[in-house]
A and B are shown apart, each in its own frame.
Chain A
Amino acid sequence: MQIQLNGEVRDLASDLTVAQLLEELGLAGRRIAVERNEEIVPRSEHAATRLADGDRLEIVHAIGGG
Chain B
Amino acid sequence: MTDFFQDQPLRIAGRSFTSRLLVGTGKYQDFDETAEAVAASGAEIVTFAVRRTNLGQEAGEPNLLDVVPPDRFTLLPNTAGCYTAKDAVRTCKLARELLDGHRLVKLEVLGDQSTLYPNVVETLTAAEELIADGFDVMVYTSDDPIVARELERLGCCAIMPLGSLIGSGHGIQNPHNIRLIIEQAGVPVLVDAGIGTASDAALAMELGCDGVLMNSAIAHARQPVLMASAMKKAVEAGREAFLAGRMPRRQTADPSSPFAGRING
Residues in A lying within 8 Å of B, measured CB to CB: 5-7, 25-27, 30-35, 38, 40, 42-43, 58-66
Contact = CB atoms under 8 A, between A and B. Distances in A.
Contacts of B78: 65-66
B48 A62 contact: yes
Interface of B: 23-28, 34, 47-53, 55, 57, 59, 63-65, 75, 77-78, 80, 90, 93-98, 100, 166, 213-216, 219
Given A30-B63, A60-B50, A60-B52, A66 B26 contact: yes
A61 B48 CA distance: 10
A58 B166 CA distance: 27
Contact of B216 (A33, A59, A66): A66
Listed residue (B52, B59, B93, B213) with the most chain A CB atoms within 10 angstroms of its CB: B52
Given A5-B55, A25-B55, A66 B97 contact: no
A12 to B, nearest CB: 13
Contacts, number: 99
Listed residue (B90, B97, B214) with the most chain A CB atoms within 10 angstroms of its CB: B97
A63 B49 contact: yes
A63 B51 contact: yes
A43 B97 contact: yes
Nearest to A6: B52
The 8 closest A-B pairs by CB, nearest first: A66-B24, A66-B215, A65-B49, A33-B97, A64-B25, A33-B98, A6-B52, A65-B26
A34 B65 contact: no
Listed residue (A7, A43, A64) with the most chain B CB atoms within 10 angstroms of its CB: A64
B52 A65 contact: no
A62 B64 contact: yes
A64 B95 contact: no
Contacts of A61: 50-51, 53, 63-64, 98
A37 to B, nearest CB: 11
A64 B94 CA distance: 16
7 contacts: A6-B55, A30-B63, A40-B93, A61-B50, A62-B50, A62-B65, A62-B75
A28 B98 CA distance: 13
B98 A31 contact: yes
Listed residue (B23, B26, B75, B98) with the most chain A CB atoms within 10 angstroms of its CB: B98
Given A33-B97, A35-B90, A64-B48, 8 more contacts: A7-B52, A31-B65, A33-B50, A34-B97, A63-B51, A65-B49, A65-B78, A66-B78
Contacts of A38: 90
Contacts of A7: 52
Given A35-B94, A40-B93, A40-B94, A64 B52 contact: no
